[in-house]
Structure 1
Amino acid sequence: MEARTYADDRRAGVVHEVIAVGSVVGIGALATRRRGAWGAVLLTALATWTALGGRSLVRAGHAMADRLDADDLVGARELLPSLCGRDPSVLDTEGLARAALESVAENTSDAAVAPLLWGAVAGVPGVLGYRAVNTLDAMIGYRNERYERFGWAAARTDDVANVVPARVTGMLTAVLAPLVGGTAGASLRAWRRDAGSHPSPNAGVVEASMAGALGVRLGGRTQYRHGIELRPGLGDGPAPTSVDLRRAVRMSEGVQVGAVVVAGVIAWVRGGR
């Protein structure tokens, strides 16, 4: 579709976003029409399973920690693209650990909390529509020569879709900080102090709250294939290690369970649908 809609223009990007996301939402809405109770349950379960990525995130986090513990830099660099879009060829052990940990923090919100919340609020169209928004942002929401304008709509839509999920993730991270030896106070302090300086209004929240809970410092020079970004520091403490990455994965698992509870409460309040 991009070959048909692409132009170095924001309006073309809006058209691309509307067609791509709108078609998925429409399919979800059509699929849920005139379904019996059990059909609705099955369809909701299938849509949610399709949209969730928390289990894959946990597996990738543990695999990265295993390779770093074994000093397998080649293997760790090969694995990193499954977690984030940074250039692994320029990263050492410390850089790989930080990149993986920041990705675990951000994707706990994007791949688990947000789909659950959108599903609880808007059912099958909501969960599938959110996954379309988030995936399209990962495809074209970049500030490089090709996508600076065309990908603007995808990036901004994703920002809006994740405003509430990111903050729910931050609150759950703070509440569950004792799971990884941290405190809610430290997590909330890092959130309040550092999140606003991050270029993303949502990634800053989840990364800062995670850094505070773990007692590590995230941010700094971040190299993508399209260029280098100098990220602000998040949290206080040393640079993260593979041990901290495993703690972040454990936190991610706890936050995912917490998100299931929150989504269930929302669905119950809305009438048990």
Structure 2
Amino acid sequence: MDTMRDRFTTTVTRLLDEDPRLALVLAEISRDRLEDAEHRHPDRVINVGIREQLLIGTGAGLALAGLRPIVHTFASFLVERPFEQIKLDFGHQGVGGVLVSAGGSYDWPAGGFTHMSPGDVALLDTLDGWTVHVPGHPDEAETLIRHAVAAGDNKVYVRLSQQSNTEGLAVDGARFLTVREGNGGVVIAVGPMLDAVLAAVEGLDVTVLYASTVRPFDAATLRRAAAKSPHVVIVEPYLEGTSNAAAGAALQSVPHRVLGLGVARRELRRYGDMSEHLAAHGLDPASLRERISAFLPVPASA
């Protein structure tokens, strides 16, 4: 199976052929995978080199000129390093674009902490009007990238990861999907955490919602699911607690409990591999089962 990043490069190459309003801005990362696109559209594929502030500024400038920019690099260099430019060049100037990241929270541990970005979604939460997609499978990545490109002049962040669920679902860029129903609580699995969540809650009487789009937050679906039991666990592949406030706002009219599980704030100073980072942050199925079972008032089935 190809990765989300593989699917991004093939999809954006096709989109550049299909849509003359589309432009792609790179900062070296993935340039080798996009050589065909660069050769076919040298006027709309721009590589600024390792200059991430310029990357964002160029994308916003293209938007001001009437194009729909896709801006791409690793998440830590796309959101964290040039955050001021995102805030001012896109937000303050009132223009839209599509930011597509790679690397996730710890996809490449050997790259060290400079290449890890567990706080990217939380950081974008400080800004107004961003749609955030977190696909859990390459098929979903293609769907959501196409959705983002077609989303008028909106500001959209698509967070890609090496981590993937076994199967893609029919995501629509808006709603949470109900994967299974239960009576003892609600577990929201975000993007590539779905497989681990389903393994963790086997035998538990809980509803599982799948979120591949987390901003705007689908409050209506959560309210319906939590009507039976307003005990909510959110399992996110980035900083723990990122969506707690959004869930709390959705349930503000009823007593409720929310537990956010995700990447811990502590820095892991060993490389390891992605699976070891998942386990260290308590996001492997066994750890998730223990933490979810301790929080929800639902005994395991016999």
TM-score for both structures, normalised by structure 2: 0.27
- Considering fraction of residues, name the structure with more strand: 2
Which has the higher relative contact order, 1 or 2, with Cα contacts under 8 A spaced 6 or more apart?
1
- Considering fraction of residues, name the structure with more helix: 1
